[in-house]
């Protein structure tokens, strides 16, 4: 009965819009240059507002459960210090790191950090960036004697780079990503030569140059500052030409893995992931090339100067701020941000208030403090289009953190973080192994039956992964073997009686938006559970709520 009822709720995720009227304190959208009255001050957020903030800025809200002082990623703490201070504290939180030589796989480490790490916001932003500037562990060959050692070492270093620079300067991030040897291997920039050993010129590989433009920075089509495409005579306008991709490939030639010396002309250095790549003039095309907006590189310059010119040329392109800002909003808040929301964040990207372009710290703060993200619920005018389907990784972590669970490796437990990654993989998201440079799903994937709305995460939602969501949730709650693998769920924090259970889940998991329909489904199902088994009733209530469309769609 349980699985049959849950599957009907899960399938509804494809088409159902959460019911219920908007909260009376929901903020109205703000137009550029117009100041509007906030629904509530940032420094004194209501409980629903604090819960929504933690859904956007962490891997799932936590309750303090009487702990004094409350943890920094708890609802009680955010309500006490306010949104602004909570963000400031997250900027300063100790940074989680990945170890490519440790026994647990990187996916296991990722989920351990997501559940227990103090730097929740940094991890969320780094996870978003990893889905924009993509490197996959699957795309790095293992040439060492120890199984899996090279891909893990390379990928751990890359993930640490994204964590380190998640709140930094975007231009510096572009350079660090370009020169990282994991990226060099994945997209063929390492040992990308302009000459054969006999000195004969050859066309460098265009793989990295193409993805740098198309996926990492600018996109395919010219955008307005509000994220909408530029349309001329009914057609979109390309950002760059095929000739410009070729020009960037030549401009970025000559980089190789770090070593004491450069290789001979037409030769390569062996792979190493201990340091950024090095530029070698002997394998670099020093001729002048035309990049974007009529800019020509310096004739006769070396790989370092040409790299700077190429990245500066991209960084100052008008397409970069809307392309990047919209994706960050999509990963943190909503798949279909309003044009005003995107443009407001773009202005901060262009100038953080001190004349700096590309300040990610200021951009992230603006995304999370914006009126459309704050308040007890989405703006009424955007209610039907607001939110995002929780991707598999966040479905797992939100459930685990929402149940005050811990990952315990004591007492013989076997890699609980790895178990969470297995669950995420079953739902279509194996971390950090995206299937291609397009990541787990493209940012412009349409929502099924959405009338033109975007729904990126829906690209990996089908009958198999919907069923996997039900099975994963069932395993977390009902399988006794889960505890032996170190995922320790604390159901005693939930009330025991049916009515109190429904109200608790409505309050803390849906921040007061549970529809009468869902409340009726829960009440009916819970009434069938024997009163002498409160644990079973709690399991069922969480199970059905977690598979409802109102929980599946983060709003």
Highest mean pLDDT among 20-34, 61-75, 418-432 belongs to 418-432
Structural contact between residues 233 and 278, judged by C-beta atoms closer than 8 angstroms: no
- With tokens 């914006």, the residue in question is 370
Domain that holds residue 497: 2-95+334-554
Q: What percent of the chain has pLDDT over 70?
A: 90
pLDDT at 486: 87
| Residue 149 pLDDT | 85
Domain count across the chain: 2
Q: What pLDDT, on the 0 to 100 scale, is given for residue 11?
A: 40
What Cα–Cα distance (Å) separates residue 434 from each residue in 137, 260, 273? 8, 33, 20
SS3 content of the chain, % helix, strand, coil (to 5): 50, 5, 45
205: left (phi over 0), alpha (psi -120 to 50) or beta: beta
Asked whether residue 152 is assigned to any structural domain, the reply reads no
pLDDT of residue 387 exceeding 80:
yes
Residues 322, 342 within the same domain:
no
In a shared domain, residues 324 and 338: no
Whether residues 309 and 439 share a domain: the answer is no
Same domain for 54 and 177, yes or no, is no
Residue 408: predicted pLDDT: 80
State residue 196 phi and psi, 5-degree precision: -80, 170
**CA pair distance 461, 459, nearest whole angstrom:** 6
Q: Report d(CA 544, CA 46) in Å as an integer.
A: 26
Indicate the pLDDT class of residue 142, thresholds 50, 70 and 90.
confident
Whose tokens are 């510096």? That residue is 172
Asked whether residue 255 is assigned to any structural domain, the reply reads: yes
| Domain end among 328, 360, 386 | 328
- The model's pLDDT over 353-366, given as tens digits with 9 standing for 90+, comes to 999 999 999 999 99
Task: Please answer whether residues 211 and 249 qualify as being in contact, where contact means their C-beta atoms are separated by less than 8 angstroms.
Answer: no
Q: Distance between CA atoms of 302 and 299, rounded to whole angstroms?
A: 9
Contact of 53 with 374, CB cutoff 8 Å: yes
Q: Are 322 and 338 within one domain?
A: no
- Quote the Cα angle for 71-72-74, to 5°: 65
Residue 265 or residue 149, greater confidence: 265
Q: 454 with 371, same domain?
A: yes
**Residue 5 · residue 544 · CB < 8 Å:** yes
Does residue 378 share a domain with residue 288?
no
Residue 141 lies in a domain: no
Residue 439 and residue 416 share a domain: yes
Structural domain ending residue among the three candidates 296, 328, 360: 328
Would you say residue 490 has pLDDT above 90?
no
Same domain, 210 and 339: no
Instruction: Give the SS3 label for residue 231.
Output: strand
Q: Where is average pLDDT lowest: 33-42, 141-150, 278-287, 331-340?
A: 33-42
Tell me whether residue 149 is in a domain.
no
CA distance 386 to 373: 10
More confident residue, 122 or 533: 122
The two counts, helices (H) then strands (E), for the chain are 23, 8
What's the pLDDT tens digit per position in 4-33?
A: 344 444 444 433 433 333 333 333 333 333
Nearest-CA neighbor of 25 among 542, 518, 512?
512
Look at residues 284, 310, 328 and tell me which one is the last residue of a structural domain.
Answer: 328
> Which pTM was predicted?
0.92
Closest CA to 440 of 397, 398, 401, 389: 389
Give the residues across from 406 on adjacent strands.
488
Residue 68: HSE in the Cβ half-sphere, 13 Å Cα cutoff: 1
Lowest mean pLDDT among 169-183, 194-208, 471-485: 471-485
CB count in 10 Å sphere of residue 81: 18
Asked whether residue 292 carries a pLDDT value surpassing 90, the answer given is yes
Q: Please choose, from the candidates 55, 212, 45, 51, the residue with its C-alpha nearest in 3D space to the C-alpha of residue 124.
A: 55
Distance of CA 479 to CAs 273, 475, 482, Å? 41, 5, 6
Distance between CA atoms of 120 and 260, rounded to whole angstroms? 39
Residues 507 and 424 in one domain: yes
Domain identity same for 318 and 357:
no
Residue 161: its H or E element: helix 149-165
């Amino acid at each position: 009965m349980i699985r049959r009822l849950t599957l009907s709720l899960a399938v509804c995720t494809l088409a159902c819009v959460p019911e219920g009227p908007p909260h009376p304190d929901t903020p109205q959208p703000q137009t550029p240059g117009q100041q509007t009255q906030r629904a509530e001050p940032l420094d004194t957020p209501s409980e629903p507002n604090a819960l929504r903030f933690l859904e956007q800025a962490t891997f799932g809200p936590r309750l303090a459960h009487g702990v004094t002082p409350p943890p920094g990623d708890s609802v009680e703490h955010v309500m006490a210090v306010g949104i602004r201070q909570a963000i400031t504290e997250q900027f300063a939180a100790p940074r989680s790191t990945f170890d490519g030589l440790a026994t647990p796989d990187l996916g296991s480490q990722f989920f351990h950090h997501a559940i227990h790490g103090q730097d929740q916001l940094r991890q969320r932003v780094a996870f978003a960036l990893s889905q924009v500037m993509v490197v996959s562990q699957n795309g790095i060959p293992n040439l060492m004697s120890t199984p899996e050692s090279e891909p893990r070492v390379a990928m751990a270093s890359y993930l640490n780079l994204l964590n380190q620079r998640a709140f930094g300067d975007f231009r510096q991030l572009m350079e660090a990503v370009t020169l990282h040897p994991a990226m060099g291997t994945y997209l063929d920039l390492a040992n990308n030569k302009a000459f054969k050993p006999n000195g004969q010129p050859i066309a460098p590989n265009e793989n990295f140059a193409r993805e740098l433009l198309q996926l990492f920075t600018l996109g395919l089509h010219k955008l307005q500052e509000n994220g909408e495409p530029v349309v001329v005579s009914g057609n979109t306008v390309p950002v760059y030409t095929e000739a410009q991709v070729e020009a960037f490939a030549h401009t970025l030639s000559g980089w190789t893995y770090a070593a004491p010396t450069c290789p001979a002309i037409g030769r390569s250095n062996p792979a190493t992931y201990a340091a950024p790549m090095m530029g070698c003039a002997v394998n670099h095309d020093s001729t002048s090339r035309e990049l974007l907006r009529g800019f020509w590189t310096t004739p006769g310059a070396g790989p370092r100067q040409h790299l700077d010119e190429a990245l500066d040329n991209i960084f100052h392109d008008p397409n970069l701020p809307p392309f990047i800002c919209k994706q960050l909003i999509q990963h943190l808040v909503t798949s279909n941000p309003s044009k005003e929301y995107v443009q407001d964040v773009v202005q901060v990207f262009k100038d953080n208030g001190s004349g700096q372009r590309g300040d990610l710290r200021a951009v992230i703060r603006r995304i999370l403090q914006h009126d459309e993200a704050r308040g007890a619920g989405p703006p009424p005018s955007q209610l039907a289009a607001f939110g995002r389907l929780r991707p598999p990784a966040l479905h797992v972590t939100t459930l685990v953190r929402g149940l005050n669970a811990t990952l315990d490796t004591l007492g013989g437990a076997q890699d609980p973080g790895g178990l969470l990654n297995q669950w995420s993989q079953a739902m279509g998201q194996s971390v950090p192994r995206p299937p291609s440079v397009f990541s787990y799903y493209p940012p412009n994937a349409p929502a099924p039956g959405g009338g033109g709305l975007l729904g990126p995460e829906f690209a990996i939602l089908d009958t198999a992964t919907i069923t996997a969501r039900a099975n994963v949730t069932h395993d977390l709650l009902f399988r006794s073997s889960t505890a032996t693998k170190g995922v320790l769920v604390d159901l005693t924090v939930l009330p025991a009686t049916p009515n109190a259970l429904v109200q608790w889940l409505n309050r803390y998991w849906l921040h007061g938006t549970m529809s009468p329909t869902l409340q009726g489904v829960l009440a009916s199902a819970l009434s069938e559970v024997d009163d002498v088994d409160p644990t079973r009733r709690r399991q069922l209530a969480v199970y059905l709520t977690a598979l409802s469309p109102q929980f599946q769609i983060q709003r």
